[in-house]
Structure formats: structure tokens, C-alpha cells
Amino acid sequence: MTKQKISESEIPLILKKFNKSLWFSTLVFPFILVVICLPIYFLFFFIILFLTGKNDENSLTVYIGIIIFLVFINFLYGKIVINKRIRNKDIDKINQNFTVLKKDSYTYTAENTSNSEYYRLYLSDEKKEEVGIYISKEDYFDIDEGQSLNLTYYELLDIPVEGFYENKELDFFKFFIVKKWKRIKKLMSF
């Protein structure tokens, strides 16, 4: 693995891509949090109902308010802290070799739309940490398990730059998280 500080010319590109994903997450994140935290809300609702015998009509408003507050804090953190790190060139451009552990493909079918096919590779780096990437159909059929890949991306943000296998360039690649809890701890600790 080689690390290289980002150049002045790369800053606008990185900021643009990061801010686009930040705005997208601001739109999607509240819906995900509402669904994920719903069991916790019901648990507190029924505990309060059981202990006090009263139905607190403001509990749903408080629940939605907390979700909006968390989304707002996440947005501010990205806009202030991460954007500052990018502008100060505290993000590295990483060139790293990976070994393909496993290949996977699946098809998502919605009721009123056509099928969406996804092609994934599970990779391992020199430290035996697992990551995953989505790739194109053509690259998926050309790459074999055990094969070596060389990927260049921006640290922390996982913004892809370029990828190669057997001196052929990948059409595209996009990271996905394999071990979610490890990833959350890594993001929280920088």
C-alpha cells in the first residue's frame, strides 16, 4: 500500500463528490433511521405506558425530532470537519493491492421496473482486512477468485479513482462495507 497526499488540483473534485454524497445521505438517512430505531421507540413507548399508565402523545414528536437532530449533526460534521480535512489536504490518495476472495452476483427485481443486476467482489488486503466492491458485468466475468487487483482511491471517503487487474483497467468500481461494525469504529476514531 502506498499513500500520497492529495494535490491542490484534486481538492475540487473530491469536495464535489463528497458533498454530493453528503446531500444524498441527508435525504436518505432520516428514512433509514426512522425504520431502524422504530423498535427502540416502541420499547420506550410501552415501558412508559406500563409504568405510568398514560399515553404520552408527544413521544412520536420527540422521536422524529431526535431523528432530525441526528441527521442535522451528521450533516454539520460532514460539512465542517470532513470538508476542512479535504481543504487542508489531510486525506491521502491510496494505491493498494487486493486479492479476490469471493465473487458474488445478484439480481434485484422490483414490481414495476426491470431487473437490476449487481456484481460484487469480496477482497482482502495485505493486512487481511476484507472490503467489497461493485464492478461491471464484463469485469466480473474476466476476474477470477485468487486474482490480484490494484485499486487507487481516496482515504476515509472511499472515493474510487482507478482500478487495474492483469494490466486491464476496471470500467468502474464502488466500495461497499463488508464488516459494518469495524467500519463504524474506524470512522468514529479518526
Count other C-beta atoms under 10 Å from residue 80's C-beta.
Answer: 10
User: Residue 117's Cα: distance from chain center in Å?
Assistant: 19
pLDDT tens across 131-161, in order? 899 999 999 999 999 999 999 999 878 889 9
Counting residues of the chain whose pLDDT is more than 90, the rounded percentage is 37
User: Which residue in the block uniquely carries the three cell numbers 436518505?
Assistant: 28
- 190 pLDDT band, cuts 50/70/90, is very low
Residue boundaries of the structural domains of the chain:
8-87, 92-188
CATH class of 92-188: mainly beta
